[in-house]
Amino acid sequence: MFEYIILAHNNTETRSILYEILSDLGYRVTTVLTPGELMGIVKKEKPYFILVDPTVFDIANQAVKEKIEAIDKNIKFIILEENENRVQSIQGIIKILREKPASLPIKEETTLNINVLAVDDEKDCRELIEKYLSRKGYNVNTASSGEEAIAKVKANKPNVVFLDIRLPGMDGLIALKTIKDMDKSIGVIMTSALGEERVIKEAMELGADGYLVKPFNMSKLETTILCNVLHKCLE
């Protein structure tokens, strides 16, 4: 039976990312928006742990903790402090997951030092991804061609590659095959403005770990990274 988690957070983007990641890992997650809703659910169905934004519910207050502990003293808490560095926030959650994972054991040496390579011939797209992810705590490198991407993968192995299909010179599908031949553990997410079924099917057959159609939301891009990396932790 999957472990049950309650997620209480004011920020919709953060709530959405955490919900998708934890659900993808096999946890049963309920999101709540108010303290009253949180307490009502705890009384009806005891979670394994609660992820809580202290601006939603002052869980750090001893009196508040005592109310929940009176219902079940075994409920664990993760306080999600406001932090632009999403990687650090997820790292804190990983520490709890190690104690009692939903299905498979997470490797003890797991750390979230995530290296991302963004490959796109459009400079604006590369810079947008680099700026957004760097602000969230990721190590980001970029390349403007398939050839440059292969060279950078050889020089500094990334955890995840965002790889555009249409590139000058070597196209993205050839670059995908080359990267997977080098190291199958590298997550490769294909990106393109084209939603062609044939191209998507070929990319998946070559070992792509996902496909995002442009224009994509930056939070969706980040969720894709975290889901991919955390699944590697569980293999």
CATH superfamily of 4-99: Response regulator (3.40.50.2300)
Q: Which fold has domain 115-234?
A: Rossmann fold (3.40.50)
Predicted pLDDT at 1 = 41
**pLDDT score recorded for residue 21:** 81
CB 178 within 8 A of CB 150: yes
Q: What is the mean pLDDT of each run of 10 residues along the chain (235 residues)?
A: 78 82 84 82 85 68 73 80 64 67 53 85 93 89 96 95 93 95 94 79 91 84 82 62
Sheet holding 49-52, edge to edge: 28-32, 4-8, 49-52, 76-79
Res 51: pLDDT: 82
Residues of the chain with CATH 3.40.50.2300: 4-99, 115-234
**Tokens linked to 138:** 């990721």
SS3 119: strand
Instruction: Read off the tokens for 235.
Output: 């293999």
pTM summary value? 0.70
Annotate 195-208 with b (16+ C-beta within 10 A) or e (fewer): eeeebbebbeebeb
Virtual torsion, Cα 173, 179, 182, 187, nearest 10 deg = -120
Residue 183: how many other CB atoms lie within 10 Å:
11
